[in-house]
Chain A
Amino acid sequence: MIEFRKEYFADERDDTLNEIGKPTQRQDMLGHVTGRSPFFDDHLFDGLLHLKCLRSPHHHARIRSVDTSEAERMPGVRRIIRARDVPHNLNTLLSLMGFGLDDEPMLADKKVAYVGEPVVAVVAESERQAYDAIAKIRVDYDVLPHVLDVEEALKPGAPSVNPTYPANTFTYHEKYDHQKLRFGDVEAALRQADHVVEGRYQMSPIEQAPTETCGAIAAPETNNRYVVYTSTQALFFSLGTAAKILKLSSNRMHFIGGTVGGGFGGKVDSIHEPMAILGCMLTGRPVKFIWNREEEMQVGAPRGAERWYITDGVMNDGRIVARKFTGYFDSGAYTRLSSYAIIKSVGHLPGPYTIPNVSADVYCVFTNRTPATAMRGFGITGVDFAIETHMDKVAHRVKMNPIELRLKNAYLDGDMKAHRRLAKNTALVECCQVVAEKAKWSIGPEYRAMSSLKGGGGERAAIPHTIIDNRGLARPASGLGSYQSPPAPGYTPAPAYTPPSYSPEPQPVRPYEPAQAAPPPAAASPTTTRPAGNRFSSISGLRRR
């Protein structure tokens, strides 16, 4: 039963709205409960062919040779598709918006970088015939060392996963091997804090597990066009991706989406449509490409794993005066959407709290795992788990009621956030108060009297003097595979990486010593220069400046 607390923010709310605050029936509900919602796979075509992929059994291997001669002679086989048949065999969704580089082949050519990476596609009269032919394809692999852990992947000498980003890190702002957040002077504040509380948190990949597996049917249409029925969650992303990979003008593709049999982020950067269309282009017949359940689980991009180290500087009264993050997002073998998840994540730091000194270094790391993509609460869920677990740890350390600790540090309307936007409609205070009440968790009268509308702004709205640095200057990344070109003048490799140390509770209270800051690389660009190119807005994604 929903309970509306209309006494809160009564003057901010417009109660004449027609939908918000009122129960409303989903528009697709009737179709679902009567079994009439049409899904992409409900469309029937005469002479439909089926496409299946041969996938890598290895985490990491060079492809020495592929022999499809026996498979070609198998009954029902209409076409075998290899990497060389793909018009533009390198893709990443966000490069459509000028963010990041194309780094992922639709069919692997020289090497495979994760278990399940597609190598060859077979188009046949039946699914069974496609599978039977795949069983006859011989691939000679030269197995390479692999890396499955984000921190291992950053160590010197780690296997290089992704040829577009040979150092295993995505390049931010065409410049850094990580995304930075700097607000105030964290190291100074940590030195002055009564307690330094450290923690290490991690979250495994999470599969979206839709009932309907990813798939598409492509068929020839009149006027030299292709009609495509697809399970995509993002029709125009999929259209743009297909146009790029197939080098086909988007007006030659008639994409029809509609009911998605569960997406939850896993069907945002779909790449099954270009595969089905390519099959259709090469055979002149309608082609269906749908993953089986095992493929959905093994190669369907999950929410990626994250690892976070948090260091807080806390005063005896529970005020958090500094918070430092080092984060690692496991992107898997290719970029997909992890690079963007980090932008969102860093905009969220340090969580819904007003902390005067905040810093973060967050890495998008390539490993030999299934590439990761979007999922609900994209970029936020993992770090929120880390932050809130850490808040409890801090409360334990300073012997404070954990809800009071949150209220003491809660952001208030008018406060400056670390990414330099003023906080508004915060309501964390009211949330905590209601949670305490519902959970019968007592909080002191001064906390019960708090309001997110009072006490914010003023000094709390100021941007502090901020210490910035140029650590982690990455190789310049511009243009496809431009790494063969000599490094730009002034380029110095990023300093050797030292992971933050972690020691479990209990810890003696000891004076804080800052991590050894590496010297800035010689002739690095002045720290006042703002990166050119794209900029993210925390709400609407990308903006070109």
Chain B
Amino acid sequence: MPVSVRTFQGAEEAERALAASRTARYFGGGTLVMRAVNAGDQAFDTIVRATDPRLRQIQMQGDSVVIGAGVTMAQIIASRDAVFLAPVAKVIGGPAIRTVATVGGNLFAASPYGDFAAALLALDAKVVPVGGTPVPIGDFLDARDREPRRIVLSVIVPRPRDSRAFRFVKVSRVKPKGVAVLSIAALLPTNGGRVSGARVAYGAMGGRPVRALAVEQALEGHTLDEQGIAPALSAATEGINPQTDALASEWYRRQVAPVHLKRLLLDQRR
């Protein structure tokens, strides 16, 4: 079947068109959708696009920044309001990818992709579906592969109060633009030098970005030094089920995760 493209102005119209067809696929920046088209993917024959300006906006809303799902990695890098996310956006693909790859598309990218989604998970973002209420990103990711696709309009990201409290590392074998062996995003607020309310998330350590709950617990009330982080390192892969893929085996991922987690927690340059 020839592939047809349908472009709508409003995200709601696009949502309706998508809901009405089993063989339609929403197009964000197309880095993954077009790859599937080129390979002759038989799962869809219609591409649905939306030119809704809301999808491309970055706006402040109280302590949070609202990022349209159609915002590209390049836009994130250039944005003042989303500056804390620039280090994440900078390591996604090469310049050509970053020019079109969107935040919304990253929420759906299968492992080992999804570095941006991992950062959003650590930051406790909320995902806003078109015409729906905001959903915590953890719940969104849990349901992602089960429920029928709805178009995401935006994500609401609380800005870290202390910019140094948010850390991100993407580990790849080809530098600077290789795909992740794993990525780690951590929000590490401290109170009197002790961690309080940490959120730690992994990318490429399972089918989708996941929180390292055991690490978070082990950090609570601890200082970020060799001694303080030791329990967190021993819990680095507790409850985590890394995948084996072309980049690394499950075993390898388990071996290196604590090494990179340690460097991140000690804020050591790699």
Contact = CB atoms under 8 A, between A and B. Distances in A.
A132 B39 contact: no
B40 A128 contact: yes
B38 interface: yes
Contacts of B60: none
B42 A131 contact: yes
A313 to B, nearest CB: 35
Nearest to A132: B1
B3 to A, nearest CB: 7
Nearest to B40: A131
A132 B42 CA distance: 7
Nearest to B41: A131
Nearest to A292: B39
Interface string A269-311: 0000000000000000000000010100000000000000000
B2 interface: yes
Interface in B1-23: 1-3
A294 B2 contact: no
Interface residues of B, number: 8
Contacts of A134: 40
A135 interface: yes
A52 B38 CA distance: 12
Contacts of B3: 128
B39 A52 contact: no
Contacts of B2: 128
Interface in B22-37: 37
A127 interface: yes
Nearest to A133: B40
A130 B37 CA distance: 13
A292 B34 CA distance: 13
Interface string B34-64: 0001111010000000000000000000000
Nearest to A134: B40
B40 A294 contact: no
Contacts of B42: 131-132, 135
The A contact surface, by secondary structure, is helix
The B contact surface, by secondary structure, is loop
Indicate the member of B1, B2, B37, B40 with the most A CB atoms within 10 Å.
B40
Nearest to B246: A297
A134 B41 CA distance: 11
B262 to A, nearest CB: 28
A413 B37 CA distance: 60
A418 B40 CA distance: 53
B39 A294 contact: yes
Indicate the member of A130, A131, A294 with the most B CB atoms within 10 Å.
A131
Interface string B196-214: 0000000000000000000
A346 B37 CA distance: 47
A34 B37 CA distance: 30
A132 B37 CA distance: 11
Interface string A243-285: 0000000000000000000000000000000000000000000
A95 B40 CA distance: 36
Contacts of B37: 128
A135 B43 CA distance: 11
A29 to B, nearest CB: 23
B93 to A, nearest CB: 15
A292 B38 contact: yes
Nearest to B42: A135
A449 to B, nearest CB: 43
Contacts of B38: 127, 292
A116 to B, nearest CB: 14
A128 B3 CA distance: 9
A509 B37 CA distance: 62
Contacts of B40: 52, 127-128, 130-132, 134-135
Interface string A130-145: 1110110000000000
Nearest to B2: A128
Nearest to A294: B39
Interface in A112-150: 127-128, 130-132, 134-135
A283 to B, nearest CB: 20
A128 B45 CA distance: 11
Contacts of B1: 132
B204 to A, nearest CB: 19
A135 B3 CA distance: 15
Contacts of A130: 40
A389 B37 CA distance: 46
Nearest to A131: B40
A498 B37 CA distance: 50
A93 B110 CA distance: 40
Contacts of A292: 38-39
B200 to A, nearest CB: 32
Contacts of A128: 2-3, 37, 40
B100 to A, nearest CB: 18
A52 B1 CA distance: 16
A296 to B, nearest CB: 12
A41 B60 CA distance: 48
Interface in A459-510: none
Nearest to B35: A293
Indicate the member of B3, B37, B38 with the most A CB atoms within 10 Å.
B38
A327 to B, nearest CB: 25
A292 B37 CA distance: 12
Interface of B: 1-3, 37-40, 42
In the A-B complex, the 6 residue pairs with the smallest Cβ-Cβ separation, listed nearest first, are: A131-B40, A135-B42, A292-B39, A132-B1, A128-B40, A294-B39
19 contacts: A52-B40, A127-B38, A127-B40, A128-B2, A128-B3, A128-B37, A128-B40, A130-B40, A131-B39, A131-B40, A131-B42, A132-B40, A132-B42, A134-B40, A135-B40, A135-B42, A292-B38, A292-B39, A294-B39
Given A131-B39, A134-B40, A292-B39, 10 more contacts: A127-B40, A128-B2, A128-B3, A128-B37, A131-B40, A131-B42, A132-B42, A135-B42, A292-B38, A294-B39
